[in-house]
Amino acid sequence: MKKHGSERNRGIEPTKNRIMDAAQMLFAKKGFDATRVQEIADIAEVNKAMIYYYFKDKDALLYAVVERIIKGIKDAIPRYLEEEDNTIDGLETFLDFYIEYLAQNSSFVRLMAWEILSGKHIQSLAMDYFMPMFFLMREKIAKGVDSGQIRPVSPEHTIFSIVGMNVFYTIALPLIQILLGGDPLSAEMLSKRKEEVKAFVMKGLLPFEDRRRI
Amino acid sequence: MKKHGSERNRGIEPTKNRIMDAAQMLFAKKGFDATRVQEIADIAEVNKAMIYYYFKDKDALLYAVVERIIKGIKDAIPRYLEEEDNTIDGLETFLDFYIEYLAQNSSFVRLMAWEILSGKHIQSLAMDYFMPMFFLMREKIAKGVDSGQIRPVSPEHTIFSIVGMNVFYTIALPLIQILLGGDPLSAEMLSKRKEEVKAFVMKGLLPFEDRRRI
DNA sequence: ATATACTAACTAAACGGTTGGTTAATTATG
DNA sequence: CATAATTAACCAACCGTTTAGTTAGTATAT
């Protein structure tokens, strides 16, 4: 059953993965600068030196975590954007999926938020991660505008608005919890959120004409 | 002309203010944890010990900066929410003002974002700052819903969406700059943003019925 | 007026704990 | 045995914070 190398591991997971998991969790929670290498080691149940055995330095560990996230996400989101169905139906499906996805993966949404704020690696992040998704979404919306299914909006600004309203909900979770007085990620809350966002976005993007003709 | 004590200041601004200005700028740019006390001192052109002469510690300096921001903002935003005019017109006016305001004060929008992400002082921040604004906005929207000027949305989620889409634009500036290929805070870009957001929000919130009756 | 006492503002230097990173030796594995 | 994995101990640099002392202006006493 053992895969490679030695296996006197603490648990099931290989050491390197445990380190990356712990790092991702802490980077997401407290940010890179506030995270101590020793903390990562403690949570991963690993000697601190092991981190430097597998990674050049703390920065390299961050890169590895981010890269792993990007690799994992590159399949997920685009699937719902590349489908060639009706733009409007596709948009609603996408929103359902997107909100669920952000909620389920709030850990790396937060990590991305830290990264965007710090701006330290924004160039490579934009190239590797944001741009591909951005272009896909832009084309999708532009197609909807051309076909008249969506009113003549700016695709770029529409993307910023949709992404912004959803990402904010994930990032500001602790604040929203206080304001709402309940877990914003609970099943009911989240389905309420989906309904509200879908209605808001759809009505915000549909052309007048289509509505009048009903 | 001298007010009190000695006045061998470096420039016009009192030392304490220079420290707070430098701190605010750096906290906003790099975050609290990545900001070195020495950097603050350098930019404020002050001996590092002066920071501890005026503030108990680095944390106290952060609190002081945040408090100053909140004090300054508490007059600004609510003015546009407390006016008792028509909800719909008020909403458009508010969006114009709000987007301009965030753009003009991106420094402490970013600082607030760092704070929200870290979540360390979220409780007091929510009480002192977010809750009052949140309640004002909620009542405003609820009133619009009751009067039928706004379709039956959840005021809470509507607020999160509107705040989110606008805050995101400010926070993600470096990223948006890359994606858009131009300064997102330039006059043209910003006025374009305002138009797009206003149209999106208004159409997203107006009831069907009103539109059909036209 | 002049000397004296006092105070706020300011500085250079260092302290002491923390942190990212290293090393050399040890243990397990194939 | 050779290689990979793991560990305890260590280190230098850094960073927030303190300290001990200086400067200059102001009030007070003589």
Q: CA–CA separation, B34 vs B154, rounded Å?
A: 39
Q: What is the mean pLDDT of residues B5-9?
A: 40
Q: Considering only CB atoms, which chain A residues are within 8 Å of B211?
A: 208, 211-212
Contacts of A16 (CB under 8 A, 6+ apart): A54
Residue A84 has pLDDT above 90, yes or no: no
Residue B187 has pLDDT above 80, yes or no: yes
Domains of chain B are: 12-55 (1.10.10.60), 74-208 (1.10.357.10)
Determine the pLDDT at residue B86.
Answer: 67
Residue B130 has pLDDT above 80, yes or no: yes
Q: What is the mean pLDDT of residues A16-25?
A: 96
Which segment of A105-109, A125-129, B72-76, B90-94 scores lowest on mean pLDDT?
B72-76
Residue A10 has pLDDT above 90, yes or no: no
Residue A214 has pLDDT above 50, yes or no: no
Q: Which two tokens stand for residue A138?
A: 């832009």
Which segment of A44-53, A189-198, B78-87 scores lowest on mean pLDDT?
B78-87
Residue B11 has pLDDT above 90, yes or no: no
Strand C CB-contacts below 7 Å: A 2, 6-8, 35-38, 48-49, 52, 57-59; B 4-6, 8-10, 15, 46-50, 53
Q: Do B179 and A131 touch (CB under 8 A)?
A: yes
Determine the pLDDT at residue A77.
Answer: 65
Q: Which pLDDT band holds residue A71 (cuts at 50, 70, 90)?
A: confident
Instruction: Round and report the angstrom distance from CA (A47) to C1' (D7).
Output: 7
Which segment of A70-79, A86-95, B175-184 scores lowest on mean pLDDT?
A70-79
Q: Do A204 and B200 touch (CB under 8 A)?
A: yes
Contact A102, A168 (CB under 8 A): no
Q: What is the mean pLDDT of residues B35-61?
A: 95
Q: What is the mean pLDDT of residues A4-9?
A: 43
Q: What is the mean pLDDT of residues A119-138?
A: 90
Percent of chain B with pLDDT over 70: 86
Nucleotides of D under 7 A from a protein CB: 4-9, 14-20, 23-26
Query: Nearest CA to CA, how far is A192 from chain B (Å)?
Result: 9
Question: Chains A, B: CB contacts under 8 A, how many?
Answer: 158
Q: Do B164 and A157 touch (CB under 8 A)?
A: no
Residue A6 has pLDDT above 50, yes or no: no
In three-state secondary structure terms, A13 is coil
Q: Which pLDDT band holds residue A86 (cuts at 50, 70, 90)?
A: low
Determine the pLDDT at residue B77.
Answer: 65
**Which residue is nearest to the C1' sugar atom of D5, using CA?**
A6
B50 in contact with A, Cβ within 8 Å: no
Q: CA–CA separation, A63 vs B146, rounded Å?
A: 51
Determine the pLDDT at residue B13.
Answer: 83
DSSP string, A115-149: HHHH-TTHHHHIIIIIHHHHHHHHHHHHHHHHTTS
B178 in contact with A, Cβ within 8 Å: yes
Q: CA–CA separation, B132 vs B127, rounded Å?
A: 8
Determine the pLDDT at residue A177.
Answer: 94
Contact B171, A117 (CB under 8 A): yes
Residue B19 has pLDDT above 90, yes or no: yes
Determine the pLDDT at residue B161.
Answer: 98
Q: What is the mean pLDDT of residues B68-75?
A: 83
Mean pLDDT of chain A: 87
Determine the pLDDT at residue B108.
Answer: 86
Q: Is the CB of A177 under 7 A from strand D?
A: no
Determine the pLDDT at residue B7.
Answer: 40
Q: What is the largest CA-CA distance in chain A?
A: 69
Residue B70 has pLDDT above 60, yes or no: yes
Short-list B77, B42, B46, CA closest to B167: B77
Percent of chain A with pLDDT over 90: 71
Q: What is the mean pLDDT of residues B121-125?
A: 91
**Which residue is nearest to the C1' sugar atom of C29, using CA?**
A6
Q: Which pLDDT band holds residue A83 (cuts at 50, 70, 90)?
A: low
Q: CA–CA separation, A159 vs A75, rounded Å?
A: 20
Q: Identify the residue whose tokens are 């992400």.
A: B117
Q: Which pLDDT band holds residue B83 (cuts at 50, 70, 90)?
A: low
Q: CA–CA separation, B72 vs B111, rounded Å?
A: 14
Q: Which pLDDT band holds residue A90 (cuts at 50, 70, 90)?
A: confident
Residue B8 has pLDDT above 50, yes or no: no
Nucleotides of C under 7 A from a protein CB: 7-14, 18-24, 28-30
Determine the pLDDT at residue A9.
Answer: 54
Instruction: Round and report the angstrom distance from CA (B57) to C1' (D29).
Output: 40
| Burial tier of A67 (Cβ tally within 10 Å: 0-12, 13-18, 19+) | middle
Q: Which pLDDT band holds residue B55 (cuts at 50, 70, 90)?
A: very high
Determine the pLDDT at residue A209.
Answer: 47
Determine the pLDDT at residue B71.
Answer: 87
Contact B148, A148 (CB under 8 A): no
Q: Which pLDDT band holds residue B212 (cuts at 50, 70, 90)?
A: very low
Residue A162 has pLDDT above 70, yes or no: yes
